[in-house]
Amino acid sequence: MNDILTVLEDERVMMYELVKYAQSQQKALIYHDADELDRLATEQKELLAAMQQKEVSRWKILAAHLSISTRDASELAMSELIPTLEGYEQDVFKKLHTELKGLLGEWQLLNATNRVLAFRARTSVKEILTFFAESNVRVCNVRV
């Protein structure tokens, strides 16, 4: 089962990177850095694709190890695997499980905050454009 632990460790590293991207996105949203948001979105999309491939690899390894279908392996909860492991592997697995769970929670919280920030930014831009469109104001000596 070392191969499954290796895949899980890779997924943990990728999840950590995903959290870092979400933190960077938050900063870019706060400072209205559209170029940085585009760059981060592209990199995040690539990372998510790599994570999906890693997940499929994990399912295939589990299917082979447990003699089940890949579909059944995809539906297994990580906690269900603990009894199939022994001693050291169980300890490493439990640690990885805890870390992945924590990173997932952190990523979900960051994403929720980022959605709120993006919505507020969009609303602010709409309000500014509406203000200029409905009023008779000048900006830099140009009538809007």
Backbone angles phi, psi at 138, to 5 degrees: -120, 140
Residue 8 pLDDT: 94
Residue type, 16: Y
Which CATH number fits the domain that encloses residue 101?
1.20.58.300
Could you read off the pLDDT of 99-123 as tens digits, one per residue?
A: 999 999 999 999 999 999 998 877 7
Which structure tokens are listed for 123?
């609303």
Range of the domain at 47: 2-143
Q: What is the DSSP string of 121-133?
A: HHHHHHHHHHHHH
Q: What is the DSSP string of 32-90?
A: T-HHHHHHHHHHHHHHHHHHHHHHHHHHHHHHHHHT--HHHHHT--GGGGGGGS-HHHH
Would you place residue 138 in the very low, low, confident or very high pLDDT band (cuts 50, 70, 90)?
low
Would you place residue 62 in the very low, low, confident or very high pLDDT band (cuts 50, 70, 90)?
very high
**pTM for the predicted model, two decimal places:** 0.81
Which structure tokens are listed for 84?
């199939």
Helix pair 2-30, 87-134: axis angle to 10 deg: 20
Residue 42 has pLDDT above 70, yes or no: yes
Residue 139 pLDDT: 63
Assess contact for 74 and 59: CB atoms under 8 A. Answer: yes
Spatial separation of the C-alpha atoms in residues 97 and 72, rounded to whole Å: 19
Query: What is the percent of the chain with per-residue pLDDT over 70, rounded to a whole number?
Result: 92
Counted domains in the chain: 1
Q: What would the mean pLDDT of 39-60 be, rounded to a whole number?
A: 96
SS3 for 138? strand
Residue 137 has pLDDT above 70, yes or no: no
Would you place residue 129 in the very low, low, confident or very high pLDDT band (cuts 50, 70, 90)?
confident
